[in-house]
Amino acid sequence: MDNNPISELMQTTMENVKNILKVDTVVGDPIYTPDGITLVPISKISVGFGGGGAEFGGKNASGTRNYGGGNGTGVKIEPIGFLVIKDGHIRMINVTPPASNTVDRLIDLVPQVMDRVDSFIAKQKEGK
C-alpha cells in the first residue's frame, strides 16, 4: 500500500503542534520576589487546525502520483492571570477583561466564594 501524502502532512503538523502545547506553556515558571511572594503566570491556549489535499490521476515523470495539498495551524497563547502565593495563602489575580456571559462569571466567582467559605469556617472554629 502506498504512503498517503495527506496523512504524512497532517501527522508532521500535529507533531509540531504537540511540541508547542506543553504544560510549561499554560503554567509558567514561578517568579520569586524578595519579599517572599511567588507569582506563577497562567495562560490560555487556543488552537485551530485544518488541512487537506488531493491525489490526481496519472503519474509524474518520477513515477509517483500527482499530489497537491496543504494545511494550516493557528495557535493563540493568551495570559489570563497570576497565582499569587504568600504566607501559605494562594489567590488568583486575573488580567483578562471581565466575563461576558453567565458561565464565565460563575467560574470567575469560584475563588472568591472559596475564600469566603474558608473565612467562615475559620471564624466558626475560633468561636468554639
pLDDT at 99 over 70: no
- Contact present, 9 and 17 (Cβ < 8 Å): no
Site of grid cell 483578562: 96
- Contact present, 21 and 74 (Cβ < 8 Å): no
The pLDDT tens digits for 19-77 are 777 777 788 899 999 999 999 999 988 888 787 777 777 777 777 777 788 888 888 88
The pLDDT tens digits for 106-118 are 777 777 788 888 8
pTM, to two decimals: 0.53
The amino acid present at 19, given as its one-letter code, is: N
DSSP 48-97: EEEEEEEEEEEE-TTSSEEEEEEEEEEEEEEEEEEEEEETTEEEEEE-SP
Give me the pLDDT at residue 1, please.
42
Give me the pLDDT at residue 21, please.
75
Give me the pLDDT at residue 38, please.
94
- Contact present, 69 and 54 (Cβ < 8 Å): yes
Question: What contacts 9, CB < 8 A, 6 or more positions away?
Answer: 51, 53, 69, 70, 71
Give me the pLDDT at residue 113, please.
80
Question: Which of 6-15, 29-38, 53-62, 95-104 is the most confident on average?
Answer: 29-38
Give me the pLDDT at residue 37, please.
93
